[in-house]
Amino acid sequence: NAGVTQTPKFRVLKTGQSMTLLCAQDMNHEYMYWYRQDPGMGLRLIHYSVGEGTTAKGEVPDGYNVSRLKKQNFLLGLESAAPSQTSVYFCASSYSIFGGGNYEQYFGPGTRLTVT
Amino acid sequence: GEDVEQSLFLSVREGDSSVINCTYTDSSSTYLYWYKQEPGAGLQLLTYIFSNMDMKQDQRLTVLLNKKDKHLSLRIADTQTGDSAIYFCAERFTGGGNKLTFGTGTQLKVEL
């Protein structure tokens, strides 16, 4: 199993450009998440999804949109990139609250985005 | 969201014990986690503790939970250079979505 994969690994954008980050998981997880990581601030939740076709806002959703058209994929879009969106973006997935266990979230390797 | 606080840096000598501390604010958290992030990589779960436990030991790792003070700690015995990484504590809320709130992360540096 590949686990959680993210595409691309690196990207540089100019202010105002748009892009989509792709997250894919092969563990048949119901839940998926997008976080951003900034120095000294830990990880902050942008958006999440509890199932195919459903999304919800996290702590810092402004400037981002998401879609979950297929269970295994979760897309994060930036319609008009701003320098404040320079960050490392992580995708994660987990079983649902009915899956039992310790509800561990599994993380992808990250996408480093720079907006100039 | 709730604030989860950690000190930013910790430096120890190889072979010593490391103790990383975390203060959380939501007393209804059911699970508390320690994740490890190596340079240029994603986060990996190190260990976790259920809220009805005070202590959990897993090989070199010991987790202590003080619910009264909302304090969580991770002790790494016999710290090795391979333990150098950023360590995040996280708390899981009882609400929907299995959401986690992460601490700011503690960078552990192990010196020879």
pLDDT tens digits, one per residue of A30-47: 999 999 999 888 899 999
Order of strands, edge to edge, in the sheet holding A65-67?
A: A4-7, A19-25, A73-78, A65-67
Looking at beta carbons, which residues of chain A come within 8 Å of B44?
107
Task: Give per-residue pLDDT as tens, A66-90.
Answer: 999 999 999 999 999 999 999 999 9
**pLDDT in the model for residue B1:** 44
Q: Is B53 in a helix, a strand, or coil? A: coil
CB < 8 Å to A96, chain B: 98
| Spatial contact of B23 and B71, defined as CB atoms under 8 Å apart | yes
Q: What is the reported pLDDT for B37?
A: 96
Q: How many CB pairs under 8 A join A and B?
A: 61
Angle in degrees, CA B21, B22, B26, rounded to 5: 155
pLDDT tens readout for residues B14-34: 999 999 999 988 777 788 999
CB contact under 8 A, A4 and B104: no
Write down the mean pLDDT value for chain A.
Answer: 94
Q: What is the reported pLDDT for B92? A: 87
Contact list, A58 vs chain B (CB under 8 Å): 99
**Cα–Cα distance between B43 and B40 in angstroms, integer?**
10
Cβ separation of A110 and B99 shorter than 8 Å? no
A11: alpha, beta or left, given left = phi > 0 and alpha = psi -120 to 50?
A: beta
